[in-house]
Amino acid sequence: MTQVGSGRKAEILDTAAALFASSGLRTSLQEIADACGILPGSLYHHFESKEDIFVALVERYQAELHEISEAAMEPGTNRHPPDERIAALGTAIAECAVRHRAALLLTLLEPPAGASAKMVRLASRTPAAINAAMLAILEAASSCGYLRREVDLSLLADRLCQSMLHVGIGVSHRIRGGKRMPAIKCWMLLHGLAVRPPDDTRLDRSEARREADEAIRSWREDGAATQDKAARIRAVARSVFARRGNDLTTIRDVVAASGMSTGTVYRLIESKDELMASILWSYTEKTTEGWNRIVGSASTPVEKLDALLWFNIHVVHRFPDEHRIQSLGIQLSPPKSPDLTWTFPAQLRQIKRLVSEGLRAGQLQIEKGSVLDMVARCVFSLIWTPESLVREGGVRGALHFDRDTLLRGAAKRS
């Protein structure tokens, strides 16, 4: 593993990484110095600022990802079966993400507001090395006839790598069966959840899909086509919060962006916290309603999973600001429980019931020996399509890709 330093400097970096990963990026230099048992002045002998620590953490993390990609392409590794090579690389990426959680939060969820140009460039650097290694393994798997030719290998490589990196954000890997989370995700994308590959036309005409479409149509542009001043303030504030984060945003920022007077804004909005809550509550309410309509429909488990994929793609496409607000929140307060706040516990229960129903009916399949709770967590993670994939392929292209992987499986069936 690449070392960024030795002695006291390495100790400070390790301590800072642990604090950032557990307490968030708001952790102060004073707190880092206290945890190291040194005075803040001694810390400044090694790092001029907190951002210098951020840079060192990201450089160490990216160096290890590069080493992982090189190890995956070493001569002799191609003797292993394709699924084993894919799962091995995926597991190595996930384990790296867990070890470097603080750096992951800095890169995967965008740098904090006020970061320097150097930090922004470093944090926005895509993990090209691991994507290239995964793509090379997939291309070899396709050449030997393991993968279906209609699957976009570039998208699949990106999907696999992103899903592995996301293991490091939460702490589900710590619970029973959690160490197998990367392998289970790889298995799902390669072999698919549906026992029999579903037909697109039937999926498009399912009751679950109709419920999803009805929920999507019920959304409207808050404040864009209305004279409601409160809705206008929420729309403007949503953009400001997404750009600066909750902590660095003030009501004055919202006032300036809205073009309204301070008095008008304060008459309509009680406080910044109330404003933030109203923004996320609207988002949560729409998401919850859609999920409830889909899982409550008279459709098969496969049709419900497909409708959830379609609905979540639209959520990611339609509410990018809310997504970024939540991402910034995770940076500042990393999850300490595998059961996240907001709608996660209820939605996880819905997924677990849906998977159980599908297994009993012989319509869904999972890897042998997998723990149901971990399977449900993996399914929940994978039915949220990454924003980059939605942006690149559009909503229909993203659904087509999701069907070809999570439902049908990218590998040829025997």
Confidence of residue 23 (pLDDT cuts 50, 70, 90): confident
pLDDT for position 53: 94
Q: What distance in Å separates the CA atoms of residue 248 and residue 258, rounded to the nearest whole number?
A: 17
Which position has the token pair 């994929």?
A: 309
pLDDT for position 225: 45
Q: What is the share, in percent, of the chain residues with pLDDT greater than 90?
A: 56
Q: State the pTM of this model.
A: 0.88
pLDDT for position 223: 40
Q: What is the mean pLDDT of the chain?
A: 88
Dump pLDDT digits (tens) for 51-64: 999 999 999 999 99
Confidence of residue 330 (pLDDT cuts 50, 70, 90): low
pLDDT for position 362: 97
Q: Kindly state the tokens that stand for 383.
A: 């039915």
Q: Which residues pair with 32 in a beta bridge?
A: none
pLDDT for position 300: 97
pLDDT for position 283: 86
Confidence of residue 6 (pLDDT cuts 50, 70, 90): low
Dump pLDDT digits (tens) for 87-140: 999 999 999 999 999 998 888 766 766 778 888 888 777 788 999 999 999 999
| Helix (H), strand (E), coil (C) string for 307-362 | HHHHHHHHHHHHCHHHHHHHHHHHHHCCCCCCCCCCCHHHHHHHHHHHHHHHHHCC
Would you say 85 and 48 are in contact if contact means Cβ atoms under 8 Å apart?
no
Is the per-residue pLDDT at 298 higher than 90? yes
Dump pLDDT digits (tens) for 222-258: 444 445 788 888 888 888 888 777 766 788 888 888 8
Q: What distance in Å separates the CA atoms of residue 141 and residue 129, rounded to the nearest whole number?
A: 18
Q: Which amino acid is at 3?
A: Q
Dump pLDDT digits (tens) for 26-44: 889 999 999 999 988 889 8
Instruction: Name the residue with higher pLDDT: 312 or 258.
Output: 312
The angle, 0 to 180 degrees and rounded to 10, between the axes of the packed helices 229-244 and 320-332 is 50
Mean pLDDT of 395-412: 97
Mean pLDDT of 358-368: 95
Q: Given CA atoms 192, 193, 199, 202 in this order, what sign does their dihedral have?
A: negative
Is the per-residue pLDDT at 216 higher than 50? yes
Dump pLDDT digits (tens) for 163-214: 999 998 887 778 888 899 999 999 999 999 999 999 999 999 999 999 999 9
Beta-sheet strands, E only, within 21-148: none
pLDDT for position 248: 67
Backbone angles phi, psi at 176, to 5 degrees: -55, 125
Domains and CATH numbers, the chain: 59-169 (no CATH), 194-220+281-407 (1.10.357), 229-273 (1.10.10.60)
Is the per-residue pLDDT at 1 higher than 60? no
Three-class SS state of 246:
coil
pLDDT for position 108: 75
Would you say 240 and 338 are in contact if contact means Cβ atoms under 8 Å apart?
no
Dump pLDDT digits (tens) for 278-290: 888 888 889 999 9
pLDDT for position 3: 44
- CB-count exposure of residue 365 (10 Å: 0-12, 13-18, 19+): middle
